[in-house]
Structure 1
Amino acid sequence: MDWMMLVLSAIVIIAVVVYFSFFYFQRRYAHEIALQKEEINKFTGSTVQEQLQDAEKSKLAGETLSHFEETKQDYRYMVNHDMPEILERLDELSVSNERYRFFEVGRELKLIEAKIIAAQKLELQTKKELTALKRSNSEHQKKIKELEKKYQNLRKTLLAKNFSYGPSIDQLEDRLASIEKTFDTYTKTALGGDYIKSSKILNELTKETVQLEKMLKAIPPIYRNLKNVFPVQLKEITAGSQQMQGQGYRFKDDPAKKITELKNLVAESIIGLTKLETVEAANYDQKIDQGINQLYDELEAELKARAHVEKGQQTFSQFVKHARSNQHELLLELDRLNQNYTFNHNELAEAQELEQQLKTIEEDLATFKKDVTKEAVVYSEVLAKRNKQTEQLRQIEKKQTQIGNSVQDLWQEEQAARNAVKEFDLEIHRLKRDLEKLHLPGLSKEYLDYFYTVSDEIEALSVSLEKTKINMEEITKALLDVQADLDALSEKTNDIVDSSALTERVLQYANRYRVRYPEVAQAANEAYALFNQKFDYAASLEKIATAVDKVEPGAYKKIEDGYYHTQNGKEQE
């Protein structure tokens, strides 16, 4: 019984849900149908129809008329045919909605909504085109007035200033006449209502007018230069260059040739203006102007150059003479020194190079003086060369001083070297005497070899200084080597003197231990052998000093201190 109640409850609930769902969709679609009808009714009250009627009253023709007719037909077909069909279909959907055919209603409403949106877009586009059509009429009316006034002004300009356009005037008038003819066509087309075609004509007309205005602005200054400015300037340059040539001036490039070339450019430019080739004429104008300015600069440069050259002639000549005097003294000094000394830094070659540079400058100076008498001098070239040669002379004298300084101390260096060799000789003889005073049994072969090597080096250095032509650079290097070797020999000699003297003292001191300490006696015998037979005084000292320090620690240090104290006392005396 309970399950029967549950089933019945479920059925009741489902029925209620279905009822309310049908009620919801029915009301929703009814509302949407009403909204769509309102949107369609708006087309009936639109002002587009009135705008179309007003446009029909306007005078239209050609492409503009065709385009308008197409726009009008599309819009009226939409309003008079499409919209009624949609209204009829909405009425049918209202019936279907009452019969609960919701799927059909929903599907059709979406299609109708899309059609209404398309119709709204068509209406908006139609409004824009009608507004543009109205604006085109106004703008063309305004443009006609503006252009008519502009062409009147252009005609007045050509009439009033025809002298400013020279050979261009006929072509300019023809060009203006052609533009005015096009303007007439534009006016007829625009007033006839074909705004699309008239707009195309207007674009071309505007372009031609701008070109003509540019020509009218560009030609007068160009023609003025060609007619008045350039001829006067070229005449002035011709007279000036001829006068200067009569005064002895010469030019790197013939001014007459350049003047002829510029006159030809003037003639070509005038022909170009006849054909309204304003771009080419402007290029010629710039080229001619640059050429004339360049000629002026060249004439002025020669005038200034001559003044500079003549003003600095004496100073430059004295500079050359001074450099020549320095060069003469330098070559004499080098020749004298070269007889006794070897040059190691290309002094002679560098001096010869300076000689060649100086000769070239002197030859150029002589040529200039000769050319001046012949009136064959291009002063700008001379000035440029003079500036370079003045700097070259500064460098020549600077180099002369450097070379002179590098060789002037050779004699002093030679005397210093001779004094050094004498000192070396005295020093090595002193070392020999110091050893002879000790009456040693002999000297080691190693020491004797080193002694004789140093002695030979001193002798070789002395021989080098006695040559007819000495090489001070090699001698200076040898002096350094001999000094180092002599210092080493002196150190070796002092070691022998000190070692032999200390050995004798330690051996005498060791006699007190020979009887009691056999090892001391043995060390003493070996030390005597090293001293008298092998002449190794350092080894002999080490042998006996080690043995004595073992039996009496610190004994050697005491003997050594006493020895050096005595030696220092003698040195102080």
Structure 2
Amino acid sequence: MLQVLIGLIIIAAIIVGGLYIFRKTTTNRVNDIKAKKYRLVELHVEQELQSGLKMSLTGESLEEFKQLQTSFDQIRNEQFKAIDELADNIAREIKGINVIKTQSDVKMLDNLVNVAQHDVTQTRETLNDFKKIDQKHRQAVSKLEKKYQELRKQLLSQNFKFGDSIDNLEDELSKLEDEFDKFSTLTTNGDHASAKEILATLEVNTNHLESLISVIPGLYKKLQSDYADQLAELKAGYTKLVGDDFNFNDGNIETQIANVETQRVAVLGKLADLDVDAVTKADETIERQIDHLYELMQTEIDARPQVTEIMPQVSKFIIHAQNQNHELMLELDRLGQNYTLDHGELETARGLGEQIRQLEKDYQNDLNAIEAKQAVDSDILARQQEALVQLEQIEKQQTEINDSVSGLQNDERRAKETLRQFAIDIHGIKRHIEGLNLPGLPKAYLEYFFVVSDEIKKLDSDINKIKINMEDITKQLLIVQSDLETLEEQTNDVKDSAQLAERLLQYANRLRENNAEVEAAVQKAQKLFDEDYDYSASLETIATVLDKVEPGSYKRLEDNYYGK
């Protein structure tokens, strides 16, 4: 029983302690929330609103301000009051034991204060916006008033820079000043909502007018002064150039100058109407046309002294090329009687002659045009510069043709000397082979000997014709040279094979009586030597059997023959 009592006492103590802690923490939290609300009151927003009345607002702005005051009165009279009443209720509830309801009311109290804080902050921000726009509009009044005074002063003091545009510029400025007066009145009266719309339009239109005032003087100067002076200079320059016998491919230059002048006057009219975009595009076109006209005239002016300089050069070059081609044709004709010219030298030279005649014709036409004062100098300059290039190419081709045929006589002389040496060489080969006193010569050797001999005879016949082909002669010389070298090699082979075979047969005769194989080989080798004239086969037959009967004997006899 005692234990139960003690347990109940402990539970009661815990409950009492818990309630104490709950009341303490809840009281602290409520005090914090009330302090938060008190700080909102301490902002004295009502005083800020009272000072806002000094802005002397009217119209839509005044209505918006009144709504702002009404909203804050609701915050102060209703929201703040509800917060205070709920805080008092919570203070009473804390003394009881309805913990759940107390906690719910504390949350509600916190929400009410947060909402009030948000509404107060929004009220102050809106009020601050009113002050800012009031300040902005009043500054804009001062700024725009000063700017319009400056623009008016600029238009009055520099009206000569704007030409006929000045009237429309002043009209635009007057319209802006009228709108500015409306804006200034609305701002002074505090109707900032209406003033805001006018200010936006004023700023755009003012910037546009400033841009016009900035751009127009430059455009006007170019159109009224610069282009007018340039066109006058072009007209006077063209007249003088025509008087100095200058001609132009573009024959309507005077008309072009007049057309540009018409455009200039028309564009000045657009500038007076303040159509700057159209004027800017037209200005670029006029400038481009004027530059083109200057370029046309300058091209002919620059070409005249160059034409004066180049014409004598071309004349001398043409005469030189004609003389060169005449001499080349004579030389080719002379050489053509004795030599075959198979690379089209004559045809090429004739073609060069035709080119020279055409260049001379063009030159004469240009010279006649100059004398008749009908020449377009730039055209003549281009044509004669190209003529110089062609004449240089012609001279190069003439030189190449001359170089290719100038050595024909020397080539013929050297070819005859080489032919004479070939005849000596083959005669020497013949005497050498005959001096061996062989029973006969191999058929293949004789055939090759006569082939080379016939080649030399043909070469001799071709080189002694009335008209010879040196290119063909040169090819024959190379063939005969090669074949003679081969014939000399074959002659040496026949000589060496025959003499070695004789030595080996003499050596084998000492062995034949006691060796039937040697006897048979000697007879076979002797037959190949005496009847078939196949000295290499004879040598191979006897050498093979000697090496078999007496190894190393062939090598010893061969080394002895070659003097090793």
Contact 1:186 1:201 in 2 (8 A): yes
Cα distance between partner residues in 1 of 2:412 and 2:59 = 117
For the pair 1:139 / 2:136, whether they are aligned, the reply is: yes
Structure 2 matches for 1:19-418, cutoff 5 A?
28-89=25-86, 116-117=113-114, 119-254=116-251, 255-418=253-416
Q: Which amino acid aligns with 2:370?
A: V
Q: Is the 8 A contact 1:26 1:100 kept in 2?
A: no
Partner deviation per Cα, 1:227-248 (whole Å, 9 max, x = no partner): 3333333223222222221221
Q: 1:480 aligns with which of 443, 453, 478?
A: 478
Partners of 2:57 and 2:190 within 8 A in 1: yes
Mark the CA change 1:532 to 1:291 in structure 2 (over 3 Å): closer, same or farther.
same
Distance 1:340 1:187, change over 3 A: farther
- C-alpha distance in structure 1 between counterparts of 2:201 and 2:448, whole Å: 112
Distance 1:477 1:204, change over 3 A: farther
Q: CA deviation at 1:348?
A: 4.0
Asked if structure 1 preserves the Cα contact closer than 8 Å seen for 2:310 and 2:384, the reply is no
- Aligned counterpart, 1:570: none
Which of 543, 547, 554 is equivalent to 1:556? 554
Q: Judging changes above 3 Å, is the alpha-carbon distance between structure 1 residues 556 and 144 closer, same or farther for their aligned structure 2 residues?
A: same
- The answer (yes or no) to whether the contact 1:308–1:383 under 8 Å persists in 2 is yes
Relative to structure 1, the CA distance from residue 270 to residue 530 in structure 2 (aligned partners, 3 Å threshold; closer, same or farther) is: same
Of 524, 539, 547, which aligns to 2:545? 547
1:519 aligns with 2:522: no
Q: Distance in 1 between matches of 2:12 and 2:529?
A: 145
- Give the AA of the match of 1:500: A
- Distance in 1 separating the partners of 2:74 and 2:154: 56
* 1:503 Cα deviation from its structure 2 partner: 1.0
Distance in 2 of aligned mates of 1:11 and 1:41? 44
Contact 1:26 1:97 survives alignment (8 Å): yes
Distance (whole Å) between structure 2 residues aligned to residue 411 and residue 109 of structure 1: 133
Which amino acid letter does the alignment assign opposite residue 49 of structure 1?
Answer: E
| Aligned counterparts of 1:406 and 1:88: Cα–Cα separation in 2 | 128
**Cα distance, 1:326 vs. partner?**
1.7
Quick check: 1:496–1:538 contact (8 Å CA) kept in 2?
A: yes
AA matched with 1:60: L
Q: Alpha-carbon deviations, 1:514-570, whole Å to 9, x = none?
A: 23343333332332243334433223222322332344443323322332239xxxx
1:77–1:452 distance in 2 versus 1, CA, 3 Å: farther
Change (3 A) 1:163 1:415: same
SS in structure 2 opposite 1:513? coil
> Counterpart of 1:173 in structure 2: which amino acid?
E
Q: Give, as a single letter, the amino acid of the residue that structure 1 aligns with 2:301.
A: L
Closer, same or farther: CA 86–374 of 1 in aligned 2, 3 Å: same
CA 486–144 in structure 1, closer or farther in 2 if over 3 Å, else same = same
Cα pair 1:503 1:540 within 8 Å, conserved: yes
Q: Aligned to 1:377, what secondary structure does the other structure show?
A: coil
1:564/1:92 CA distance change after superposition, 3 Å? farther
Larger mean Cα displacement after TM superposition, 452-461 or 248-257: 452-461
Match of 2:507 in 1: 509
Contact 2:55–2:134 (8 Å) recurs in 1: no
**What amino acid maps onto 2:304 in structure 1?**
R
Question: Which region of structure 1 is more displaced relative to structure 2, 345-354 or 182-191?
Answer: 345-354
SS at structure 2 position matched to 1:565: coil
Deviates more, 1:365-374 or 1:393-402: 393-402
CA deviation map 1:86-132 (0-9, x unaligned): 45445556666666766666677667656655544444443333223
Return closer, same or farther for 1:93/1:371 CA change in 2, 3 Å cut-off: same
Percent of residue pairs bearing the same amino acid type = 37
Distance in 2 (CA, whole Å) between partners of 1:377 and 1:324 is 26
Secondary structure of the residue aligned to 2:249 is coil
Q: Distance in 2 between matches of 1:347 and 1:280?
A: 68
Tell me which amino acid in the other structure corresponds to 1:144: V
1:366-399 residue CA offsets vs partner (Å, 9 max, x unmatched): 0122112211011122222222322332222222
Provide, for residues 208-257 of structure 1, a one-character-per-residue CA deviation record: whole Å limited to 9, x for no partner: 12222222222223323333333333223222222221221111213212
Q: Identify which range, 231-240 or 83-92, moves more after superposition.
A: 83-92
Structure 2: how far apart are the matches of 1:202 and 1:556? 131
Distance between the aligned counterparts of 2:397 and 2:147, measured in 1? 79
**What TM-score, normalized by structure 2, do the two folds share?**
0.87
Residue 230 of structure 2 aligns with an amino acid whose one-letter code is Q
Match of 2:417 in 1: 419
- For normalisation by structure 1, the TM-score amounts to 0.86
Question: Cα deviations across residues 326-346 of structure 1 (Å, max 9, x unaligned)?
Answer: 222223323333444444545
Cα 1:122–1:501 change in 2 (3 A) is farther
Q: What is the one-letter code of the residue matched to 2:32?
A: L
Partners of 2:439 and 2:533 within 8 A in 1: yes
Tell me the C-alpha RMSD between the 2 structures.
3.5
- Code of the residue aligned with 2:229 in structure 1: it is V
Deviations along 1:265-319, one digit per CA (max 9) or x if unpaired, are: 1121122122112232233334333433433343333233212222343233212
What runs of 5+ residues in structure 2 fail to find an aligned partner? Answer: none
Contact 1:428/1:486 (CA < 8 Å) preserved in 2?
A: yes
Structure 2: distance between partners of 1:171 and 1:138: 33
* 1:548 and 1:556 in contact (8 A); partners too: yes
The CA distance in 2 between the partners of 1:541 and 1:421, in whole Å, is 36
Displacement of 1:498 after TM fit? 1.0
Aligned partners of 2:65, 2:453: CA distance in 1, in Å? Answer: 129
Matched to 1:335, the amino acid is D
- The 8 Å contact of residues 26 and 102 in structure 1, kept in 2 or not, is answered as no
Q: 1:430 to 1:61 in 2, by over 3 A?
A: farther
Please state how far the C-alpha of 1:46 moved relative to its aligned partner: 1.4
* Residue pair 1:417, 1:479 contacting (<8 A) in 2 also: yes
User: Which of 377-386 and 222-231 deviates more?
Assistant: 222-231
For 2:164, give the aligned amino acid.
P
Distance 1:280 1:338, change over 3 A: farther
SS state at 1:166 partner: coil
1:364 Cα offset (Å):
1.7
In structure 2, the CA distance between the partners of 1:191 and 1:334, relative to structure 1 (3 Å rule), is farther
Distance in 2 of aligned mates of 1:276 and 1:490: 107
For residues 445-493 of structure 1, what are the alpha-carbon distances to aligned partners after superposition, in whole Å with 9 as ceiling and x for unaligned?
Answer: 4434433443444444444434555443344334333333332232222
